[in-house]
Amino acid sequence: MYPLDRMARARCRSISGEMHSGFSALRSSLPMNLRVEARRIAIWSAAQADIDRITEIWRDCLDTWKGPWLFGRKPTIADAMYAPVVTRFRSYGVQVDPVSAAYCTHVWQWPDLAEWVAAAQLEPELIDELEVEF
């Protein structure tokens, strides 16, 4: 799922790595929750900085590779890596610029993401193993 173009592939690997290892404020402030939509919460400055960086990445890629996916006409590993961010933005009603909002809508309509979300909806709300206090 990497782009064939060498420059696009390098950028894809870079932003995928950044997603994998970064954005800890976003992850802790807006935990993934597919059971809510547009829940308004206060977004702390560190989480907002992560949101700003993510949307900067998206705008840059969409401008460079002309979308609708981050690297052109086909979804890549980067789109898969950022799909959970799209769900977080939706869950917490995060407002983003129009280009990023259009990308979020496109990703939300991705059949692979829809399948994942549907499967998640079938899971029990409480998973006993995760409720153990350490």
User: Tens of pLDDT along 59-69?
Assistant: 999 999 999 99
Spatial separation of the C-alpha atoms in residues 24 and 7, rounded to whole Å: 27
In this predicted structure, what is the pLDDT of residue 134?
Answer: 35
In this predicted structure, what is the pLDDT of residue 36?
Answer: 78
The model carries a pTM of: 0.89
Spatial separation of the C-alpha atoms in residues 119 and 28, rounded to whole Å: 23
132 vs 119: which has the higher pLDDT: 119
32 vs 17: which has the higher pLDDT: 17
In this predicted structure, what is the pLDDT of residue 127?
Answer: 61
Percent of the chain with pLDDT over 70: 93
φ/ψ of 26, rounded to 5, equals: -65, -45
Give me the half-sphere count of Cα atoms (radius 13 Å) on the Cβ side of residue 13. 6
**Confidence tier at 12 by pLDDT (50, 70, 90):** very high
- For the chain, what percentages of helix, strand and coil (3-state, to nearest 5) are there? 65, 0, 35
CATH of 6-30+40-122, one of 3.30.465.10, 1.20.1050.10, 3.40.960.10, 3.40.50.1000: 1.20.1050.10
φ/ψ of 72, rounded to 5, equals: 115, -135
